[in-house]
Amino acid sequence: MLSLNLIVRAIVFHEGKFLVTVLDDGERAPFYAFLGGHLRAGETLLECARREVQEEAGLEVLPGKLLYVVENFFFRGAAKLHEIGYYFLCQPARPVSGSLLDVLSPNLDDLISPELLTPHALGEANFQPALLKQTLCEDARESFASCPRAVVINELPGDVEALGGVYPL
């Protein structure tokens, strides 16, 4: 039996760098991921993206283009999850002078530790979901012109027939 996980992630791509955070879920080695989290009752996908970045990094953003819909079938502890993630390209709502990191107010309670990574650095990093990493770096070079894309990750081949991969959407 799978459980549904609906998440929204903000891809803040500012001056050629991705805003990411280090996450440590205690089960895997610490990894990089985009800011974001679970969709709450009563909010739209765009509102969720805006709220999550505000809560986690103290940054007001304007969510824009839908870049990826990531469907991920995986284990977490004893649970089997079907996670659908909506990844939006986001821009700071106000002009930023200097480094983006200087205007952030990371939520230390959530252990948010923001970093800025170039596409090349992100390609070398332990980023999750890993399957997204390669297409993300290529898409960034093309200003995400080929997006949106569907990304399917299937770590439950015994339960789910979905073929992992990156598909046009």
Partner 1 sequence: MISLQLSVHAVLLVDGQLVLRRPDGDLAPGVCCGDSIGLGETLPAALARILKAQLGQSCEAVKLLYVVERFLPRGGAKVHELAHYYLCERRDDDGAPLPDGMVLVNPAKVKPTQIDPAVLSEVLPADAADDFQVSPKLLVVNELPEESQAISGVYRL
Residue in the block written with tokens 């992100």: 122
User: Scanning residues 92 to 151, which ones bind partner 1 (CB under 8 A)?
Assistant: 148, 150
**Cα atoms in the Cβ-side hemisphere of radius 13 Å centred on 149:** 19
Residues 27-46 that bind partner 1 (CB under 8 A): 39, 41-46
Total interface residues for partner 1 by CB under 8 A: 31
Q: What does 117-161 look like in DSSP terms, one character per residue?
A: E-HHHHHHS-BSSHHHHHHHHHHHHTTTTT--EEEEEES-TTT--
| 62 lines the binding site for partner 1 (CB under 8 A) | no
- Between 17 and 139, CB nearer to partner 1: 139
Smaller CB separation from partner 1, 17 or 83: 83
CB nearer partner 1, residue 22 or residue 66? 66
Least distance in angstroms from the C-beta of 51 to partner 1:
11
**H/E run at residue 53:** helix 45-57
